[in-house]
Structure 1
Amino acid sequence: MPQYVPITGFKQLEDALKVHAKNNCLIYMYFFGEKDSTGRSWCPDCVAVEDLVETAFREYSHPNSLIYTVNVGDRTAWKDKSPANKFRLPPFNLTVIPALLRWNNSERLDGDQLLKPDLLKLFFDEAKSQSATDNTIPCK
């Protein structure tokens, strides 16, 4: 079963990558808008894809992978287009949330692409097949 790593903010993401990326683990990153006390995000697109993404994680992700669930902050923080919003800069280059990325790879799904179950399945299938042929390893 994949290991979920809840992350809030850019600094926590950097710290987690320092620990896990050095092992060349298979890491998926799901970026979403901060949730309120009821567990609902301020981002309507994030709310719309949440069940589909969670189902895809359960059904398709590599069982020994890491899944970073990355809270990018409140609406004001996310809408900041200055360099202060480091999520918008390399290596993540986020322009929309929700977004799903595979670390150290160009594979990603952004926004309404996450509403398409076939694309989600393909995203995870591609990651599994590539991890078998490159030097990416499942995390233990």
Structure 2
Amino acid sequence: MPQYMPIQGYKQLEDALKVHAKPNCLIYIYFFGEKDSNGQSWCPDCVAVEETVNTAFREYSHQNSLIFTVDVGNRLAWKDTVDNKFRQPPYSLVEIPTLIRWQGAERLAGAQLKKDDLLRLFFDEAKTQSATDKTVLCQ
């Protein structure tokens, strides 16, 4: 079963990757807008895809994978195109929500995350590649 790791902000993500990003460790990173005390994101697109993405994690992700769910901050922080480090490499986010496979080419963003068939393909591609790479349990 995949392991979930909630992440708050850029620094915490960088620290988590230093610890967990090892050879043959499959990491998915899901970026979304900060949630309020009721669990509701300020980002309407994030709210719209949340159920579909969570279902895809449960049904399609590799059993040995690690899933980072990354809070990119409030609306003001996200809209800052100069100092927002999530908008710069290696993440190069243009929009949220965004789902990437760490050290892979797979990326889905925005309305793509509403489409179950695209999510299935996203995870299948990582599973196919990891089968040849001997994916290990991420700790």
Partner of 2:107: 108
The amino acid of 2:79's aligned partner reads: K
**Equivalent position SS for 1:93:** coil
* Residue-by-residue CA offset, 1:3-62 (whole Å, 9 max, x unaligned): 000000000000000001134410000000000000000000000000000000000001
Identity of counterpart residues, as a percentage? 73
Unaligned runs of 5+ in 1: none
Distance 2:134 2:19 in 1: 17
Moved over 3 A (4+): 134-138
Aligned length: 139
Residue 72 of structure 2 corresponds to residue 72 of structure 1: yes
Query: Is residue 24–residue 133 contact of structure 2 (8 Å, CA) maintained in 1?
Result: no
Residue 54 of structure 2 corresponds to residue 42 of structure 1? no
Query: Within 1, Cα distance between the matches of 2:5 and 2:95?
Result: 21
2:95 and 2:16 mapped to 1: Cα distance?
Answer: 22
Measured against aligned partners, the alpha-carbon deviations of 1:61-88 in whole angstroms (never above 9, x if no partner) come to 0111000000000000000000x21100
Corresponding residue of 2:11: 11
Offset of 1:136 from its aligned partner?
A: 4.8
| Letter matched to residue 104 of structure 1 | Q
Instruction: Give the letter for the 1:124 counterpart.
Output: F
**Alpha-carbon contact 2:98-2:109 (below 8 Å) kept:** yes
Say yes or no: does 1:86 pair with 2:85: yes
In the superposition, the TM-score normalised over structure 1's length comes to: 0.95
TM-score by length of 2: 0.96
Matched, 1:134 2:133: yes
Structure 2 spans left out of the alignment, 5+ residues: none
3-state secondary structure, aligned to 2:70: strand
